[in-house]
């Protein structure tokens, strides 16, 4: 049994702490916030999207991005910075925008997603998580443009045995009647049964409670990690405002901030914040919310009913580490949701939130060993951190336990600089 310090109390750090404690390790979690899940895990889209995992980097995306940038209501914003991090990330992203690269990465992420789904099942059984508004209504990705829909539906036909189903407009409305209220006739949609949705923040709070009751859990230290104390090739302790905390092994799971924590150790993490927004609007008896999770493909907006609230998540803004809520982006999101699902929720009372997705150029998280022998990474989950966290937590915990990864790590590890 080892003493492991996990840095970061978002969904990735919490699931890592749990997976380690379950394997018999003593675990201390360090979180700088007054409670867990105040970072990207706070009010995200809530989708457990195990099969809809294709990374943003794809053929044709650079051209689409130029069009999106010209549209003030478009899903993308870019503010050029005099920052090496922004430009090197963008260059690596552009290099990944190739069909074969996207297909290879999608395959790996599908394997990771399938493993995550089974890992979540085990976690759910083990900890009796409740009150996280978990449902598995399936996911419907709707397309406004006929040619885009024809392209993906055609690709589906070449995949025998695929779970996904291509639906025309009427079939989409039959499956999800709330789409009938939309101002736009959708060309069609791809439905994936079994995809789930839950409240990520509530899940984090529940897991933190379950951890506190776990016999192998030493507790949550509320402190900011400022750096590491190195002893030869190893880390001996982390430096925090509350003093040094020593351990045998360390897991870096501090979301975007992992980048600056790893840098003094000579570890360059290719992370950049992709800022997104969400609205959380109450649903009352007079509303007609979508029951399945819906992704509006062209507008890049996700809709999920989470309990008695509608969660809408959207936008990818490359504007640096700026978590402020831009009123023009919220106004634009409000216009889009009112047009697409006008009767779904009380948008006048919607609560707006902005979060920074800790993203790698490839769209894949970085998991596993580092050049420092007792430092492990669980970072870079980008747009799918809730979905992948159960898998990557198990992977890190297995590796620290001296076993092999349950999922092939090809493409998911730290690349040599
Ligand atoms: C708008 C939006 C919608 C999204 N929708 C979905 C979705 O539908 N499905 C999905 O799967 N994913 C979604 N995501 C992505 C998902 O939210 C993230 O990938 C995930 O939350 C990342 O988790 P994390 O634990 O790595 O980071 P975080 O949640 O940011 O946690 C990192 C933690 O580390 C702490 N920390 C940082 N530095 C230090 C330090 N020095 N010392 C101590 N503690 C520190 C922070 O305070 C924070 O609590 C969405 C993200 C956004 C922004």
**322 domain-assigned:** no
The rounded Å distance from CA 357 to ligand 1 centre is 6
> Which of 119, 227, 357, 366 has most ligand 1 atoms within 8 Å of CB, for mutation?
357
The span from the CA of 16 to the CA of 55, in Å, is: 23
From the list 300, 357, 365, the residue with the least C-alpha distance to 329 is: 300
Residue having the nearest C-alpha atom to atom 20 of ligand 1: 385
**237 domain-assigned:** yes
One pLDDT digit (tens) per residue for the chain, 417 residues:
899 999 999 999 999 999 999 999 999 999 999 999 999 999 999 999 999 998 999 999 999 999 998 898 999 999 999 888 999 999 999 999 999 999 999 999 999 999 999 999 998 776 667 889 999 999 999 999 999 999 999 988 777 777 899 999 999 999 999 999 998 889 999 999 999 999 999 999 999 999 999 999 999 999 999 999 999 999 999 999 889 999 999 999 999 999 999 999 999 999 999 999 999 999 999 999 999 999 999 999 999 999 999 999 999 999 999 999 999 999 999 999 999 999 999 999 999 999 999 999 999 999 999 999 999 999 999 999 999 999 999 999 999 999 999 999 999 999 876
Separate counts of helices (H) and strands (E) for the chain: 10, 20
The rounded Å distance from CA 160 to ligand 1 centre is 36
The rounded Å distance from CA 113 to ligand 1 centre is 18
CATH number of residue 46's parent domain: 3.50.50.60
Evaluate whether 359 touches 373 at the Cβ level (below 8 Å): no
User: Would you tell me how many other CB atoms lie within 10 Å of the CB of residue 395?
Assistant: 28
| pTM for this predicted structure | 0.97
**Helices of type H across 35-98:** 61-70, 84-96
**113 domain-assigned:** yes
The span from the CA of 141 to the CA of 56, in Å, is: 15
The number of folded domains in the chain is: 1
Query: Who lines ligand 1 at CB under 6 A?
Result: 7-13, 30-33, 38-41, 44-47, 49, 224-225, 253-255, 257, 261, 276-278, 302, 313, 355, 357-358, 381-387
The span from the CA of 177 to the CA of 398, in Å, is: 44
Helices 200-212 + 11-22 axis angle, to 10: 30
Question: Which DSSP state fits 398?
Answer: H
Residue having the nearest C-alpha atom to atom 10 of ligand 1: 384
The span from the CA of 171 to the CA of 191, in Å, is: 10
**408 domain-assigned:** yes
**282 domain-assigned:** no
> Which of 119, 200, 255 has most ligand 1 atoms within 8 Å of CB, for mutation?
255
Place of tokens 């809809």: 52
Distances (CA, A) of 41 to 202, 204, 239, 354: 10, 8, 25, 11
The span from the CA of 230 to the CA of 249, in Å, is: 12
**351 domain-assigned:** no
> Which of 15, 33, 39 has most ligand 1 atoms within 8 Å of CB, for mutation?
39
**181 domain-assigned:** no
Q: Which residues, in sequence order, are bridge partners of residue 347?
A: none
Output the six-digit token pair for 322: 């700026």
Domain extent for 369:
1-71+80-134+196-270+362-417
**278 domain-assigned:** no
């Amino acid at each position: 049994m080892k003493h492991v310090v996990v840095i970061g109390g978002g969904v990735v750090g919490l699931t890592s702490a749990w997976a380690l404690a379950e394997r018999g390790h003593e675990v201390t979690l360090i979180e700088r916030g007054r409670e867990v899940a105040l970072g990207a895990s706070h009010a995200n889209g809530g989708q457990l999207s195990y099969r809809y995992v294709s990374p943003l980097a794809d053929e044709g995306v650079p051209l689409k991005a130029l069009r999106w940038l010209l549209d003030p209501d478009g899903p993308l914003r870019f503010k050029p910075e005099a920052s090496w991090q922004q430009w090197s990330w963008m260059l690596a992203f552009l290099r990944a925008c190739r069909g074969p690269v996207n297909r290879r990465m999608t395959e790996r992420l599908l394997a990771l997603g399938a493993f995550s789904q089974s890992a979540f099942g085990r976690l759910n059984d083990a900890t009796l998580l409740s009150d996280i508004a978990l449902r598995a209504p399936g996911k419907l990705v709707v397309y406004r443009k006929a040619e885009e829909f024809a392209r993906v539906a055609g690709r589906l036909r070449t995949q025998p045995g695929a779970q996904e189903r291509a639906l025309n407009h009427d079939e989409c409305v039959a499956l999800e009647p709330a789409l009938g209220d939309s101002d736009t006739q959708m060309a069609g949609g791809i439905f994936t049964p079994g995809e789930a949705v839950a409240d990520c923040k509530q899940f984090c709070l529940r897991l933190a409670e379950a951890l506190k009751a776990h016999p192998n859990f030493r507790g949550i230290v509320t402190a900011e990690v400022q750096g590491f104390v190195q002893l030869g090739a190893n880390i001996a302790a982390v430096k925090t405002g509350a003093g040094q905390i020593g351990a045998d092994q360390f897991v870096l799971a501090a979301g975007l901030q992992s980048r600056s924590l790893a840098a003094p150790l000579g570890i360059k993490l290719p992370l950049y914040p992709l800022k997104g927004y969400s609205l959380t609007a109450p649903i009352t008896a007079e509303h007609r919310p979508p029951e399945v999770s819906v992704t509006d493909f062209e507008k890049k907006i996700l809709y999920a009913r989470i309990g008695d609230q509608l969660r809408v998540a959207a936008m990818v803004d490359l504007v640096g580490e700026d978590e402020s809520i831009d009123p023009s982006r919220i106004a634009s999101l409000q216009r889009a949701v009112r047009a697409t699902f006008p009767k779904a929720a009380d948008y006048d009372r919607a609560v707006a939130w902005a979060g920074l997705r800790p993203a790698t150029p490839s769209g894949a998280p970085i998991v596993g060993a580092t050049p420092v022998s007792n430092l492990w990474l669980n970072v870079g989950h980008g747009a799918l951190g809730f979905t992948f966290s159960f898998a990557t937590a198990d992977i890190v915990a297995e590796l620290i336990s001296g076993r092999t990864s349950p999922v092939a790590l090809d493409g998911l590890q730290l690349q040599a600089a």
